[in-house]
Amino acid sequence: IQKIAVLTSGGDSPGMNAAIRAVVRSCAFHKIKCIGVFRGFEGLIEGDFKTLGPRTVKNMINRGGTFLKSARSKAFKTKEGREKAYQQLQKEQIDAMVVIGGDGSFTGASIFIEEFNFPIVGLPGTIDNDIYGTDVTIGYDTALNTVVEAIDKIRDTANSHNRLFLVEVMGRNAGSIALNAGIGAGAEEILIPEENLGRDRLIDSLKRSKKAGKTSSIIVVSEGDQIGKNIFKLADYIEENLNEYEVRVTVLGHIQRGGAPSCYDRVLASRLGVSAVDSLLDGKSNIMIGISHNQITTVPFSEAIKNSNELDLELVRVADIVST
Ligand code: ATP
């Protein structure tokens, strides 16, 4: 292997820059060329490439987002699009690639490997922590810290007015952000898609909290939760059926994707980036590099995209106990 390409694809996450930097510097360490691909698979199809040397990634470790930019590419979902991408790689004499993204990006990469027998290794870059085969994904820790900081601020105003706040957080179909940030921010209730406990149980629980002397409340709602899906309707329902608090809604939205990566994410991204280049040089492909019990692990793309991380029942129990 003489030349490795790196791209970021799908939703961006804090720490992607740190991962790119690690790939670039690892390539320099092994004396091989590194090519940055702009705008994910879309840029791959168009040949939007730039040679990246170790100094081109200076001052990157602390920057949120991805300087290579990310994209969702419809064309890459077609055979013609992927043909063009392969031609661009051949033209540039690229031997292997690191794809930093989520399960969609790994699905696309996996199809591409099958069609062209082109070596690709993936790194999990998403705030949602919804990828099987890794304890955490790049950007997740930073997003948790952002959510907790935001809820701390909401708590100040909730307390001053005896209000109940519904705070919607990201996570797609995974409740990891909601559950962990909910515990970290001291939420009264946490609604996650994996549980779907229903509106009536929520009302009963809020009534009990009120009786127990609580004067304000914060409910963290994962965007994928069934009853939380329309958070404004849920707010109306609580106001009508509880009649105790004024209910307010905050949708945290894209602030969760931004900001400087936490130290944890920077170290994680650096470890995974170095390992990605090692794996390609070892002749590996069609795998994602992850972390499990603080050890680097590899899982086939086919497993990583199953998307079946199980609900952590111990965390659910902790959340229940500490919110009473
Ligand atoms: P996130 O979880 O942060 O959204 P993601 O990688 O899952 O990240 P997607 O938009 O699902 O984001 O996928 C990124 C890109 O991967 C798509 O825009 C598309 O180009 C490619 N891709 C996804 N699914 C396929 C597929 N079935 N075939 C080919 N390419 C695909």
Is 200 an active-site residue?
Answer: no
Is 249 a residue whose pLDDT tops 70?
A: yes
Instruction: Return the ∠ at Cα 314 (arms to 312 and 315), rounded to 5°.
Output: 70
Distance 40 CA to ligand 1 centre (A): 10
Task: Say how far apart CA 139 and CA 288 lie, in whole Å.
Answer: 16
Residue 269 burial (CB < 10 Å; 0-12/13-18/19+)?
A: buried
Reported confidence tier of residue 243, pLDDT bands at 50, 70, 90:
confident
13: nearest Cα among 121, 124, 148: 124
Is 198 a residue whose pLDDT tops 90?
A: no
Task: Say how far apart CA 161 and CA 149 lie, in whole Å.
Answer: 20
- Is 121 marked as binding a ligand? no
For residue 171, the one-letter residue type is: G
Which ipTM value was assigned to this complex? 0.97
194: nearest Cα among 180, 220, 177, 174: 174
Indicate which residue of 12, 48, 128, 130 is catalytic: 128
- Is 156 marked as binding a ligand? no
Reported confidence tier of residue 197, pLDDT bands at 50, 70, 90:
confident
- Is 208 marked as binding a ligand? no
State the DSSP code for 125: B
Mutation to probe ligand 1, out of 8, 84, 107 (largest number of atoms < 8 A from CB)? 107
- Contact predicate 27/118, CB 8 Å: no
Distance 197 CA to ligand 1 centre (A): 31
Predicted TM-score of the model (pTM) = 0.96
Q: Which atom of ligand 1 is nearest to the CA of 76?
A: 20
pLDDT tens, residue by residue, 131-140: 999 999 999 9
